[in-house]
Amino acid sequence: MSTVEPTLRRPFASRVLSGRSLVPRLLVLPAILIVAATTLYPAVWSLWISLHSWFPSQGTGQVWVGLENYKDVLGSDRFWHSMKNLLLYVVVGVGVEMVLGITLALALYEFVKRAWLRVLLLTLFLMPMMLAPAVVGDIWRFMFQRAGVLNYFFDLLGLPEQDWTGAKLGIWSVIVSDIWQWTALPLLVVFAGRAAIPNSLFEAARLDGASWWYRTTRITLPLLRDLIIVALLLRMMDSYKIIDSVFVITNRGGPGTSNELPGLMAYTTAFVDFDIGKAATITWLLGTIALVFMRLFWIAFRRRA
């Protein structure tokens, strides 16, 4: 009597999923779909919209205009003035934040030896970063206003009152508030990075007679380079899209458009004028310029490294 072993067929889904090359792809597929739906599709859609004239507030549809919006925006003084403000904001604001943040982080690590004091100071430095930018804007607006505390001290010192949010000083006031809030980011990153560097490296250097300055410039900073770049890129990415604090401090980029940044210009164009095509154009131009700028920066940094 012969016996026949029953052949068990695995379910179809199991067979498909057991394929080595397919499984990883299927596992990441949901994430890819979500990203495509929430990021890629809106981005491509906004690129498409930027080639159209579209005023939803008039109840009209989208009208193809090709590169007309790009021509308009690139030919507008207002856009280039806002880009000039942005450049100032990024170079000075982020630059000072990086220098201050790195300095404070290293000083905190090197010179504050008591753990409780370190934690306390670190917490104090981080507190502004935990506030909403609009709240920070409000706090500084009160200080910058004509009857504010800054002019009060100027008055005490016998100095003339300043229009801190006026056409000449407005962008600088925004930069000051940004430095106050965001210096903590590079500080945190660099502090964490410094804490991760083995002390043995510094001990060896010390035994070889390396000074503190030499150790910092030849060991600490080179080892922290990648983290510093990450912090810098994060701040730059944050900076180019800033709207809230400049909106609050300068009363929507004013006086006039003197302190306007491109992000705010895009907001006004989209949600005040409801010129959605032009607003999409501004965001694409801004995004492209920021990407090119950051890519060039990255290439230059890698080459130097």
Partner 1 sequence: MSEDRNPTEGLTRSEVLRRGMIAAGALAIPSTLLAACGGGDSSSAGGGDAASKVVALPKEVNGRLDFGGAEIKTLGDEFAGPIWEWYGDDLAKEANIKIAKPSKFAFGQESQVITPKLIGSTEPPWNIIAHGGWFLGDFVATGGLEPLEPYLKGFPGYQEYLAGIAPAYRELVMKSKGQIYALMADGDSHGFHYRTSIYENKTLQRAHRQQLGRDLKAPETWDQYIETAGFLTKQLKSEKMYGAQFASEPAVSWAYWMGTAGSLGVQYFDADMKAQVNSDAGVKGLELLLRLAEHCPPGMENMSNNDTVSNWTSGRVAQAVYWMDLTEFDSKVSQNDSSDTAVPGSIGPDGKLKRATALAFNRVFSIPKNQPEEVKRAAAWAAYRVSHPDYSFYSVTDPFNGLEPYHTAHTTPEAIEQFTKPNPKRGTAPDYPKNQGIYRTRARAENHVAAIKEALKTGFPQPNWPGAGEYIRVLGTEVQNAIAGQKNAKQAMDSVAQQWDEIVQKRGKDQQKEFYDSFQASAKSIGL
Give me the residues that bind partner 1 (CB under 8 A), please.
53, 55-59, 72, 77, 146, 161, 163, 165-167, 251-252, 254-258, 271-275
State which residue, 226 or 273, has the beta carbon closest to partner 1: 273
Residue with tokens 């920066």: 297
Return all residues near 45 (Cβ < 8 A) that are at least 6 apart. Answer: none
Smallest distance, partner 1 to C-beta of residue 280, A: 14
State which residue, 187 or 249, has the beta carbon closest to partner 1: 249
Query: In sequence order, what DSSP letters do the residues of 229-271 get, joined into one string?
Result: HHHHHHHHHHHHT--HHHHHHTTTT-STTTT--HHHHHHHHHH
State how far the Cα of 82 lies from the Cα of 262, in Å rounded to an integer.
5
How many C-beta atoms lie closer than 10 Å to residue 113's C-beta? Answer: 8
State how far the Cα of 69 lies from the Cα of 24, in Å rounded to an integer.
43
Smallest distance, partner 1 to C-beta of residue 42, A: 18
State which residue, 52 or 235, has the beta carbon closest to partner 1: 52
Smallest distance, partner 1 to C-beta of residue 265, A: 11
Smallest distance, partner 1 to C-beta of residue 212, A: 47
Smallest distance, partner 1 to C-beta of residue 44, A: 23
Cβ proximity of 129 and 184 under 8 Å = yes
State which residue, 178 or 275, has the beta carbon closest to partner 1: 275
State which residue, 89 or 247, has the beta carbon closest to partner 1: 247
State which residue, 104 or 279, has the beta carbon closest to partner 1: 279
Smallest distance, partner 1 to C-beta of residue 193, A: 42
How many C-beta atoms lie closer than 10 Å to residue 135's C-beta? Answer: 15
State how far the Cα of 186 lies from the Cα of 284, in Å rounded to an integer.
28
| Residue from 272, 303, 269, 305 nearest 286 by CA | 269
Residue with tokens 């010129």: 275
